[in-house]
Amino acid sequence: MTDSQERGLDWEQEAAQRRAGDDDRRPVLPAPTGLRASSGRGQVTLDWEPVDGAAGYLVRRAAAPDGDYEPLEIGEPWVRPVPHPPLTDTTGTPGVTGWYTVAAVAAVDDRRQPQSDAVEATPLVDGEAACRVVVDVAADRGELPRPWRPMIGGERLSQLDHGVGPGGRPIGDEYAEALRLAHDQLGVSAVRAHAILHDDLGVYRERDGRPVHDFSGIDRIYDRVLGLGLRPVVEVSFMPRDLARDPDRTVFHYDAIISPPKDWDRWEALVTDLAAHLVERYGLDEVRTWGFEIWNEANLEVFWSGTRDEYMRLYDISARAVKAVDGSLPVGGPASAAVGWIDDLLGWVGRSGAALDFLSTHTYGNAPLDLRPIAARHGKAGVALWWTEWGAHATHFDRVHDTAWSAAYLVRGMVSAMGRLDALAYWTISDHFEELGRPAELLHGGFGLLAVGNLRKPRWWGLWMLEQLGPRRVAADVSGDGAGDMVDAVATTGPDGEVASVVWNGTVDVTKAGGSALLGRDVSVTFTGLPPGAYRVRHRRLDQQHSDLDAAWRAMRRDDQAWPDPDQWELLAAADHLEDHEPPTELEIAGGELTMQFALPMPSVSLIELTPTGRRSVQEPEVATG
């Protein structure tokens, strides 16, 4: 029996074991205790005691205490659990009482866990609504985690070769500039993109029945990415046509082939040669910082025409191929949609012995769940946790992607993720994105942080504001109506006495993407423990009246005009900055305390900076050219 036949037999034995119903070791968790509900204007805030071992919490609501308790409709239908308390429910009808329960869940699809006792609450129809933020500059909370820095999502990198496209804009050059901006202004260090093995780069061909590997197209693309200051995350996908078992099974406008290989040995040879080539060209010290992610969302039929067990075989073979080049090259997966196949892959590699250096998955419309308990129960505590796709909404061409709501959503999710995962890659950097066809107009509901023309959409500014925070996190306590989830804050200090705080008002309830006057709040922010002296105080704002590209474009757009004319491109570029909410001032602070008061609509995000006199505030990013 050959080595290949032995490996095939091993895989068949593993598949048979999994099909026989191997226990994924999900524990039965106790119901959370201390569930409490607070009524506020337009919302109900729920809080409870955390449960050890929980990946998240499933909150249910009913119209009566003995009614049918249904999960709150937030996030994707498959990702209803939230990662931690508290939770602000804005999906109820003001004036109508609801009853709530909460269950701790061990995985995203876990519905068997016991529910807590029910509590009731009624969102209010009116009344004054206020929140107070107290920032204690002297209360150091450690280094500020920055989960956005490790990577950003991007369309297939072969777009860097493209010419003029939507709106008369140069696709390749603008895409490259978008990646550079992510590196220079958001601190991002890597880009994760699809389809590096797609036939448009000519990686694999068969001639006279023999495989031919050509990595010159990948070299050209990766050379340019590295020249921008970024490194690639190598998503090992999709299948080259000549190697595909089902070559007519495709996805996306550019016909990415979603098939398993027709020859597993040739697939292994391709992955081995790719990894070896990258190490030879760029050096082992460089490539060991990248990461090889095996496929994309194979738990969805649209992305994988094989079975779950065939994906596990693909993972085993691909991981072995990468590690055969050098054991220090990081490999991981399952890069699944909606947090799927996490237990499956962890259980599988536990039996097969395949390497797993990082665990990766995706979610939309909700903050990422806590994967640490899942990894720990499979003996993988401490494995790197990469969310290689995350966004406000899973649907392309949905207008929510262009709104101020998505900026508050982004800020809320990034802060939620701080300290409990290693990378949270927003999907994606640019509206130069062709999976479902090229954009038909400037603001079309694209996934990008940047519109075509590299104009900054509201959620760019949300992430940019977080990047302006200093290195040391300090206490920021929030109280009041909707505090701790809908209205929240993060604050930092810098080495030269700078203080910065990001304060936001946002909800995961996408039905409120157009805004809600009922959910607006009056906010006071008090800074305490300030060293005496003179400070320059600056307050910048993102909301539906400030720093909103959609509002700026609607104000100048003529009828159903799809793209700006040359003069409009220039006007939009000139307006492409984060606006001051009020003029900057200089104040003498003698008693160590400063209080600011302002309205905080839903949605909105504020950046407040206190800079000792003589030191400049954070620099504005350069303005895009028209």
pLDDT in tens, 240-258: 999 999 999 999 999 999 9
- Can you tell me the mean pLDDT for 602-606? 98
Number of domains in the chain: 3
Contact 139, 113 (CB under 8 A): no
Looking at residue 407, its pLDDT comes to: 97
The answer as to whether 20 is a domain residue is: no
Task: Give the model confidence (pLDDT) of 421-435 as tens digits.
Answer: 999 999 999 999 999
The answer as to whether 6 is a domain residue is: no
Q: Are residues 67 and 90 in the same domain?
A: yes
Looking at residue 626, its pLDDT comes to: 39
pLDDT band, residue 13 (cuts 50/70/90): very low
Pairing of strands 70-71, 384-391: unpaired
Q: Are residues 453 and 463 in the same domain?
A: yes
pTM for this prediction = 0.93
Q: Are residues 338 and 261 in the same domain?
A: yes
Tell me if residue 407 falls in helix, strand or coil: helix
Reported as half-sphere exposure (CB side, CA atoms, 13 A), residue 91 has a value of: 19
pLDDT band, residue 2 (cuts 50/70/90): very low
Q: Are residues 271 and 187 in the same domain?
A: yes
Looking at residue 173, its pLDDT comes to: 97
Q: Are residues 459 and 496 in the same domain?
A: no
The answer as to whether 4 is a domain residue is: no
- Can you tell me the mean pLDDT for 444-450? 97
CATH at 428: 3.20.20.80
Q: Are residues 189 and 249 in the same domain?
A: yes
Cα Rg of the chain (Å, integer): 25
Pairing of strands 231-236, 292-294: parallel
Alpha carbons 43 and 230: distance in angstroms, whole number = 42
**Domain hosting residue 577, numbered range:** 130-144+469-612
- Can you tell me the mean pLDDT for 5-27? 44
Decide if pLDDT at 196 tops 50: yes
Q: Specify the range with the lowest mean pLDDT, choosing from 183-187, 216-220, 555-559.
A: 555-559
Reported as half-sphere exposure (CB side, CA atoms, 13 A), residue 331 has a value of: 27
**Could you say which of 467, 499, 517 is where a domain stops?**
467
- Can you tell me the mean pLDDT for 75-85? 89
Q: Are residues 508 and 424 in the same domain?
A: no
Decide if pLDDT at 602 tops 60: yes
pLDDT band, residue 9 (cuts 50/70/90): very low
Decide if pLDDT at 75 tops 80: no
Decide if pLDDT at 16 tops 50: no
By the 10 Å C-beta count (0-12 exposed, 13-18 middle, 19+ buried), 330 is classed as: buried
Pairing of strands 604-612, 130-143: unpaired
Looking at residue 621, its pLDDT comes to: 54
Looking at residue 110, its pLDDT comes to: 87
The answer as to whether 618 is a domain residue is: no
Decide if pLDDT at 1 tops 50: no
Q: Are residues 516 and 598 in the same domain?
A: yes
Q: Are residues 501 and 463 in the same domain?
A: no
Closest CA to 27 of 84, 117, 104: 104
Q: Are residues 47 and 157 in the same domain?
A: no
Name the E strands within 32-129: 36-40, 43-47, 56-62, 70-71, 87-89, 98-105, 119-121
The answer as to whether 617 is a domain residue is: no
Task: Give the model confidence (pLDDT) of 19-43 as tens digits.
Answer: 333 445 689 999 999 999 999 999 9
Contact 274, 290 (CB under 8 A): no
By the 10 Å C-beta count (0-12 exposed, 13-18 middle, 19+ buried), 238 is classed as: buried
Decide if pLDDT at 454 tops 70: yes
The answer as to whether 514 is a domain residue is: yes
Alpha carbons 461 and 455: distance in angstroms, whole number = 11
CATH at 517: 2.60.40.1500
Q: Which residue has the tokens 């609501």?
A: 61
Q: Token pair for residue 452?
A: 């075509």
Q: Which residues pair with 119 in a beta bridge?
A: 100
Alpha carbons 617 and 494: distance in angstroms, whole number = 12
Contact 59, 102 (CB under 8 A): yes
- Can you tell me the mean pLDDT for 382-399? 95
The answer as to whether 23 is a domain residue is: no
- Can you tell me the mean pLDDT for 138-145? 97
The answer as to whether 26 is a domain residue is: no
Looking at residue 3, its pLDDT comes to: 41
Q: Are residues 355 and 484 in the same domain?
A: no
Contact 396, 436 (CB under 8 A): yes
Closest CA to 85 of 38, 145, 135, 142: 38
Q: Are residues 110 and 221 in the same domain?
A: no
**Could you say which of 467, 500, 520 is where a domain stops?**
467
**Could you say which of 121, 156, 171 is where a domain stops?**
121
Note if the bond before 86 is cis, omega within 30 degrees. Answer: yes
Pairing of strands 533-542, 579-589: antiparallel
Q: Which residues have CB under 8 Å from 560's CB, separation 6+?
A: none
